[in-house]
Amino acid sequence: MSFLTRTIDKAVAYTASIGTFGDVVFETNDRRILNPLGIQRTGGSEWATQSLVKGKPRSQYMQAKLRTVSFSIKLCSQHGVKPRDMLDKLMDMAEGYTAYKLVIGGKPLSDLPFVLKEVSESWGHMYNRGELVSVEVSLSLEEYR
């Protein structure tokens, strides 16, 4: 393999990167498809209500809520992803205590890192010896402060 081929391969993988969460790289290229589907982000603020002797109560801003993000991914061995290995990695991240930046399109979805709070999986096809071929995974993340 020539230097030019290696450089082009790296460039293709880099430009095809959709984003990252920790060491999980979301990408679409001719060797691998792993992309987030249906990203939903929620944010808001907390308010307190103060009662007054006369008149309507007053609202008082307290603080911003932690943002949450949820999305699904399809792990498929035919798309260059080892479903069982990726499931194990995601479960370790969910059961661990490390927060990671969530980056999509080269921009973080928050100034704060996120923790993976929940992983829900729905197993699809398997080969005759129990080798997992495809699985749908839903991920729920929350900002960590």
The model carries a pTM of: 0.81
Reported for 21-29, long-range contacts at CB under 8 A and 24+ positions apart, including other chains, are: 21/100, 21/101, 21/102, 21/103, 21/114, 21/116, 21/141, 22/93, 22/98, 22/100, 22/101, 24/86, 24/89, 24/90, 24/93, 26/73, 26/104
Could you tell me the pLDDT band of residue 16, with boundaries at 50, 70 and 90?
Answer: low
Indicate the average pLDDT of the chain: 88
103-132 per-position pLDDT tens digit: 999 999 999 999 999 999 999 888 888 889
